[in-house]
Amino acid sequence: MTVFAAGCLAGCVPQVNAIVEVFNETSNAGTLEWQGTSTGTEAIAPCSSDTVISLGPGYWQVTITEGSDRLATSLTAPATGSFYQVFEIGPEGEISNLYSGDQHGVPGRPAGFPFCMGQ
């Protein structure tokens, strides 16, 4: 019992069962919001591939917004294992789901991503 308590004094690491990633291929900022056992909002930088959030097990509502485009979806993170959900904000601002599944099939950057590299 003492070992467990001492280990958490430094900060217990929350369980991660769902990872949500967003590629933004526009020169506009967007937002990523989530609701479940916790809630939050994170800015999606223009021309970026570094928006990643980690969620614990359970039901989650995820909303991505860029300009007037908005995509709301729900996902259920498993009690064990990891689930990946990858989205793309395309060059014209369209928001789409690139991948849902386990870590073995997670795609790399979208084909159109070089569009942003010169900006």
On whether residue 5 sits in a domain, the answer given is no
Question: pTM score, two decimals?
Answer: 0.80
d(CA 27, CA 100): 25
Q: Which tokens go with 92?
A: 């014209």
Q: Which residues pair with 69 in a beta bridge?
A: 66
How many structural domains comprise the chain? 1
The continuous run of DSSP H or E covering 104 comes out as none
Q: What is the CATH number of the domain that holds 71?
A: 2.60.40.1120
On whether residue 3 sits in a domain, the answer given is no
Scanning 1-119, the segments in alpha helix (DSSP H) are 2-9, 114-117
Domain residues for the domain of 53 are 15-117
The continuous run of DSSP H or E covering 33 comes out as strand 30-35
On whether residue 106 sits in a domain, the answer given is yes
pLDDT tens per residue across all 119 residues of the chain: 444 444 555 556 667 889 999 999 888 999 999 999 999 999 999 988 888 999 999 999 999 999 889 999 999 998 888 889 999 998 888 999 988 888 777 777 665 555 565 54
For residue 96, give the nearest of 68, 119, 69, 61 by alpha carbon.
69
